[in-house]
Amino acid sequence: MSEPRRKLTPEMRAAFAPSVETLVRTLMGQGNDPPFFKSVEASHETIETFVCSDAVFEATFNYASALMHIWQQQKYGQPLRPLSQHQKSSGAGQSCASSTASSKSHSPNDPGSEPMPETIHDTEESGTPQEETPAMPEVISDPSPSQPERARADEPSATSEPEPAPESSELEPLPEPQTDTSDVIAATAKPMDALPDDPGDEPKPQQPGDIPAVAAPRARTPEPRAAFSLPNAKVGVEYAARIEARDAVDQRLIIQDIKLPETLGLHFDPESGELRGTPQTAGDHRLPLRWSLGKGTSYSGECLLIVNPDPRSLWKIIEPPEDAPYPKSHTDGRLIQTNDIRLIAASRRGRSHEHASSFRDDDYLIELDAENGWSLLIVADGAGSAQFSREGSRLAVTTAGAHLLSNLTGEQGARLSTALANWDAEPEASAKTLGTAFHYLFHEAASLAIQSIEQEAATQGAKPRDYATTVLAAVVKRQGTSTFVASFWMGDGAIAAYGPRGRVRLMGTPDGGEFAGQTRFLDRAALADQGFAKRIGLGYFQDLTAVLLMTDGVSDPRFETDSGLADPSRWDALWDELAPILDAAEPEQTIVDWLGFFSPGNHDDRTLALHWVSAKEK
């Protein structure tokens, strides 16, 4: 590219040097913006020597001139004009040339003495006070043996008169270069391999009028960048994790200290670099820290720690409306105990109902005929999709329970006891007699429960399905060391004869639908089903530990699947939790509290009924 028609004077060069040098430093990655060139292993002094060289200034200025020409040639708008340093609202940084002695005052008695920094004040003759301007110290260096010392910019040359300062440092639009745009780009964008390999190579001889190149003041080195990370924590759960820290080149860093809120519940161990403790406060915590690459300078940083809340704290406990129909207590428990018979049942409102301000839908009934020794246990789970199901479950257990209990007492109860007494001698005959009797009793009890629900629905102008509920019932009697169980299973949940340890017999199969949460409810279609007899279970067991009935609020979190329901080890684990509760001073209240266990995703009402034999009686 041809030279511009107007040659740059030293004063004009000094005016534009800061902007040109800032551009080059940015390309070299010395600023805050992304660099153009890949990072090179070179000292700051080496890069500054390159930036401040005349060749780099000339090439960069020609590059800017080419942009001006393209703008003017394509007629994008008003011609571009370079903005000199003194025209900017804020400085672009000190240029290499600005650090010369042009702003210094030399002693008149010692022209060769080294200038000292000073503040220049206007004399009293000045009409307007001027802002104080600090003078920059001169950079002193030894002249190269092979090169004569360069003349100072503020000293007159011995061979030529100094050029008069221009009236303005603003350049007029440059004339069109003699070469086309592609030639301009080729001339200005020289590859890096065209530059000298060694910055210390001997420079070109200085020509008269050249501005001497001096080193720029050392720029403040920006703090190195680093990234820090920690795994998430959870409130109330013990936490121990190392802070992962790496810089831009993937070096492992040393965490020296970290500032932690007092309420967070964690402390920092500098030796291991770990945060330890039990988090107490949920939220996104930005933790200030100090780090280093080893010995020497330390730097500031920040690490984000996310502490998730305890899921239990997210559940609200809201009371149902006072005018809601069919109110029911949120918890209920009962214990029946004689010398050799123990019955217990408990029911608790689920978290989903607490959060939705609704009543408990589950219900239960336990009764004992002390004369004949028959025990009755029933649990029911009202359908969550039915608005009055809490009343449907209550009607089912009370109506069916009353009918069953009336047939377990008096003469009917005595006849059933006689048939059971012959089981050891004639097991097939006894099983047939008792099977027929309980098939009839359970069918009639279910029919009466449906009638009760239909009558209530008609009274309230509702539909029977608004009272939908499941029903699980068991009649139990101990005979010596044996236990007889007759059961009826309509819906989900579970009825099991458990014991001795490692053995369980399910008294039926839970009803399930096509989708999760679906089941069969008590209705007339179920009574008319030819498979109704399969809902009746009969068993005579030796050394039985307990008979357990539960709604799906208990069976789902404890067993999860049908195969889990048949797994004896899971029943062993359940019994290990229940046995100490049953031996407590007030087991009916303790078991209500136990039903409040937390299981993610399982927040339904929970009801459990048991007939058990204590270890002392075996």
The DSSP-derived string for 368-405 is: EETTTTEEEEEEEEB-TTSTTHHHHHHHHHHHHHHHHH
Per-residue pLDDT, 32:
67
Q: What is the pLDDT of residues 310-347, one digit of tens each?
A: 888 888 999 999 999 999 999 999 999 988 889 999 99
Q: Does 52 reside within a domain?
A: yes
User: Which H, E and C letters describe 273-318, residue by residue?
Assistant: CEEEECCCCCEEEEEEEEEECCCCCEEEEEEEEEEECCHHHHCCCC
Q: Does 126 reside within a domain?
A: no
Q: What is the pLDDT of residues 416-448, one digit of tens each?
A: 999 999 999 999 999 999 999 999 999 999 999
Confidence of residue 505 (pLDDT cuts 50, 70, 90): very high
Per-residue pLDDT, 275:
94
Res 101 pLDDT > 70: no
**Residues 526 and 404 grouped into a single domain:** yes
Element (H, E) at 440: helix 427-460
Q: Decide which of 453 and 166 is more confident.
A: 453
CA-to-CA distance for 449 and 570, rounded, in angstroms? 33
Listed in sequence order, the residues at least 6 apart from 387 whose beta carbon sits closer than 8 Å to its beta carbon are: 462, 466
**Backbone phi, psi, residue 428, to 5°:** -70, -45
Report the number of distinct structural domains present in the chain.
Answer: 3
* Range list of H helices, 77-149: none
Question: Looking at residue 479, what DSSP letter applies?
Answer: E
204: left (phi over 0), alpha (psi -120 to 50) or beta: beta
Q: Which of 311, 339, 364 is the last residue of a domain?
A: 311
Q: Residue 264: CA atoms inside 13 Å, Cβ hemisphere, count?
A: 22
* Range list of H helices, 142-288: 181-188
**Residues 54 and 197 grouped into a single domain:** yes
For the chain, give the mean pLDDT: 79
Q: What is the pLDDT of residues 255-267, one digit of tens each?
A: 889 999 999 999 9
Statement: the pTM of the whole predicted model exceeds 0.75? no
CATH of the domain at 501: 3.60.40.10
Res 143 pLDDT > 90: no
Distance set, CA 412 to CA 162, 249, 374, 419 (Å):
134, 88, 11, 11
Per-residue pLDDT, 208:
60
Q: Is the Cα torsion angle 568, 574, 576, 578 positive or negative in sign?
A: negative
**Residues 433 and 569 grouped into a single domain:** yes
- How many helices (H) does the chain have, and how many strands (E)? 13, 22
| Six-digit token string for 72 | 């003017």
Q: What is the pLDDT of residues 354-385, one digit of tens each?
A: 999 999 999 999 999 988 899 999 999 999 99
Per-residue pLDDT, 55:
85
439 SS3 class = helix
- Judged by average pLDDT, the poorest of 135-149, 255-269, 361-375, 548-562 is 135-149
Q: Does 173 reside within a domain?
A: yes
CA-to-CA distance for 82 and 87, rounded, in angstroms? 10
CA-to-CA distance for 289 and 266, rounded, in angstroms? 14
Per-residue pLDDT, 312:
81
Among residues 486, 457, 485, the alpha carbon closest in space to that of 469 is found at: 457
Element (H, E) at 353: helix 351-355
Contact indicator for 213, 205 with CB cutoff of 8 Å: no
- Judged by average pLDDT, the poorest of 102-116, 355-369, 391-405 is 102-116
Res 89 pLDDT > 60: no
Per-residue pLDDT, 358:
95
Over residues 504-530, the mean pLDDT reads: 83
Q: Does 361 reside within a domain?
A: yes
The DSSP-derived string for 309-367 is: PPGGGG----PPPTT-SS---SEEEEEEE-SS-EEEEEEE--HHHHHTT----EEEEEE
Over residues 31-60, the mean pLDDT reads: 79
**Residues 344 and 438 grouped into a single domain:** yes
Per-residue pLDDT, 74:
78
Per-residue pLDDT, 29:
75
Per-residue pLDDT, 185:
32
Q: What is the pLDDT of residues 186-245, one digit of tens each?
A: 333 333 333 344 444 455 555 665 555 555 556 566 677 889 999 999 999 999 999 988
Res 468 pLDDT > 60: yes
Contact indicator for 560, 600 with CB cutoff of 8 Å: no
Contact indicator for 394, 381 with CB cutoff of 8 Å: no
Per-residue pLDDT, 110:
42
**Residues 275 and 397 grouped into a single domain:** no
Per-residue pLDDT, 192:
37
At residue 225's C-alpha, the angle toward residues 223 and 231, to 5°, is 135
454 SS3 class = helix
Q: Does 443 reside within a domain?
A: yes
Contact indicator for 509, 493 with CB cutoff of 8 Å: no
Q: Does 128 reside within a domain?
A: no
**Residues 281 and 377 grouped into a single domain:** no
**Can you give the residue range of the structural domain that contains 48?**
1-102+135-219
**Residues 345 and 420 grouped into a single domain:** yes
% of the chain with per-residue pLDDT over 90: 51
Q: Which residue is associated with the tokens 């020289």?
A: 190
615 SS3 class = helix
**Residues 428 and 542 grouped into a single domain:** yes
Per-residue pLDDT, 159:
39
CA-to-CA distance for 105 and 117, rounded, in angstroms? 9
Res 548 pLDDT > 50: yes
- Judged by average pLDDT, the poorest of 242-256, 392-406, 423-437, 554-568 is 242-256
Per-residue pLDDT, 107:
39
Q: Does 392 reside within a domain?
A: yes
CATH of the domain at 250: 2.60.40.10
**Residues 284 and 344 grouped into a single domain:** no
**Residues 276 and 397 grouped into a single domain:** no
**Residues 215 and 232 grouped into a single domain:** no
Contact indicator for 317, 588 with CB cutoff of 8 Å: no
Res 25 pLDDT > 60: yes
**Residues 151 and 288 grouped into a single domain:** no
Q: What is the pLDDT of residues 260-307, one digit of tens each?
A: 999 999 999 988 889 999 999 999 999 999 998 877 788 999 999 999
Q: Which of 201, 219, 237 is the last residue of a domain?
A: 219
Per-residue pLDDT, 272:
86
Q: Which of 311, 339, 371 is the last residue of a domain?
A: 311
Count of beta carbons in the 10 Å neighbourhood of residue 90: 4
Count of beta carbons in the 10 Å neighbourhood of residue 567: 15
Per-residue pLDDT, 184:
34
Q: Does 317 reside within a domain?
A: no
